[in-house]
Amino acid sequence: MTAVTRAQAAAGGTGTGSELLHRLGYASVGGLVVSPILTLVTTPVVFLML
First to last CA, the chain: 33
- pLDDT at position 42: 92
Work out the average pLDDT over 2-18. Answer: 72
pLDDT at 18 > cutoff 90: no
Work out the average pLDDT over 12-24. Answer: 74
Of 21, 1, 23, the closest CA to residue 10 belongs to 21
Distance of CA 44 to the CA centre of its chain: 21
- Using a 10 angstrom Cβ sphere, with 0-12 exposed, 13-18 middle and 19 or more buried, the burial of residue 15 is exposed
**Domain range summary for the chain, segments of one domain joined by +:** 2-49
Work out the average pLDDT over 24-29. Answer: 82
Query: What is the amino acid identity at position 23?
Result: R
Residue percentage of the chain with pLDDT more than 70: 94
Alpha-carbon span 43 to 20, nearest angstrom:
34
Q: Which of 6-10, 19-23, 34-38 ranks highest by mean pLDDT?
A: 34-38
